[in-house]
Amino acid sequence: MPITYQNTINDEAILQIGMGSIPDAIALSIMDRRNLGFHSGMASDFLVDLMNSGVVTNITKPSDRGVSTTAILLGKTKLYEFADNNKELKLRPSWHTHSGDVHLLKIS
């Protein structure tokens, strides 16, 4: 059986997802997971779908519990409208999103 990201992303994992078509495709292929966290330097349109569907809840994160954390938003209008005044999404400096205090599953 080939090793795929779907085999390694378990419920309650805290994700750091890179940019590009492959990370985007992986992010959208894990819609059956539960209670994932998101703590990443950059966020794209996939985050809207993961949060709206309840896949990303951030309830197990040791830092910024209950909110998705990112330094940069890079996407379409849908992402920026979702982010505007959204209390479940926090923009933080890159020193925070890359601090190493959170054990991340990195998808690049």
pLDDT in tens, 31-42: 999 999 999 999
Share of the chain above pLDDT 70, in %: 86
Q: Which band of pLDDT confidence, cut at 50, 70 and 90, is reported for residue 6?
A: low
pLDDT in tens, 19-70: 888 888 888 889 999 999 999 999 999 999 999 999 999 999 988 999 999 9
Distance CA 72, CA 81 (A): 14
The model's pTM is 0.87
| Assigned CATH topology for domain 5-107 | Transcription Regulator spoIIAA (3.30.750)
